[in-house]
């Protein structure tokens, strides 16, 4: 089942709020709550190692040099969690070797044939220099676009099941309806299992680094 528009989650939320005609809960009041829930859902999917929030970059060429290189990042990258490298000339993912994450630029680093290290600071990815042209591939956590309008895609298969119930829970909570908030949060938690299964397909649960 493909991702659906935010309007589906909003309609589900209104059903839980007993406001199917949008008399009380307009898009303007519900969308900010749904956006917070969308961010929450992405974080929860990351915490269980879901493939939907993971991505792999296209090959990125790193020219030989004598100073560290700041890498141009994929536009949807949130944080990298692994890098591999291979020779630009004649190399491929089949010959790729893992790189090692360090906290910052190694002191006394001797430039060699491989990049060896990478570090992530202040949302900047940097790699060591090498005396040969190298190519890297980044494995990273991606940002799924937050829907801004009711016609925008959620971007997560079956995500409306979680978002509808949890958005309604947040709406009830904003009015001080603690009992309704708790019940709907429990429904959302149950629906989250369906969302996780939908992203995984037939894979076994991945191990998060």
Count of H-run helices and E-run strands, the chain: 4, 9
| 123 and 136, same domain (yes or no) | yes
79, 101 in Cβ contact below 8 A?
no
Give the pLDDT score at 202.
Answer: 45
Place of tokens 């991945």: 206
pLDDT at 2: 63
Tell me how far apart the alpha carbons of residues 147 and 22 are, in angstroms, rounded to a whole number.
19
151/185 same-domain check: yes
Instruction: Name the residue range of residue 166's domain.
Output: 6-51+145-200
CA distance 138 to 56: 6
Q: Are 20 and 96 within one domain?
A: no
Among 97, 115, 142, identify where a domain stops.
142
Q: What is the pLDDT along the chain (209 residues), one digit of tens a residue?
A: 467 999 999 999 999 999 999 999 999 999 999 999 999 999 999 999 899 999 999 999 999 999 999 999 999 999 999 999 999 999 999 999 999 999 988 888 899 999 999 999 999 999 999 999 999 999 999 999 999 999 999 999 999 999 999 999 999 999 999 999 999 999 999 999 999 998 875 445 444 44
My answer on whether 39 and 86 are in the same domain is no
Give the number of domains in the chain: 2
Residue 5 per-residue DSSP state: B
Candidates 77, 78, 88; CA nearest to 136 is 88
Mark whether 121 and 136 lie in a shared domain: yes
The answer to whether residues 109 and 47 belong to one domain is no
- The answer as to whether 205 is a domain residue is no
């Amino acid at each position: 089942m493909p991702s659906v528009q935010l309007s589906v989650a909003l309609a589900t939320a209104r059903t839980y709020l007993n406001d199917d005609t949008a008399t009380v809960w307009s898009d303007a009041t519900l969308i900010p709550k749904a956006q917070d829930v969308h961010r929450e859902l992405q974080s929860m999917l990351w915490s269980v190692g879901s493939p939907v929030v993971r991505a792999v970059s296209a090959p990125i060429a790193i020219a030989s040099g004598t100073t560290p290189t700041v890498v141009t990042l994929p536009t949807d990258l949130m944080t990298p969690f692994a890098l591999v490298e291979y020779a630009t000339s004649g190399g491929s993912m089949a010959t790729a070797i893992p790189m090692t994450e360090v906290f910052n630029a190694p002191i006394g680093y001797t430039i060699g044939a491989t990049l060896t290290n990478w570090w992530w600071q202040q949302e900047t990815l940097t790699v060591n220099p090498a005396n040969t042209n190298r190519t890297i591939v980044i494995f990273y956590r991606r940002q799924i676009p937050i829907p801004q309008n009711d016609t925008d895609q959620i971007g997560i298969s079956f995500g409306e099941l979680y978002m509808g119930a949890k958005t309604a829970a947040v709406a009830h909570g904003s009015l001080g309806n603690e009992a309704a908030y708790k019940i709907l949060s429990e429904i959302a938690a149950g629906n989250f299992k369906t969302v996780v299964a939908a992203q995984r397909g037939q894979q076994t649960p991945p191990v998060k680094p």
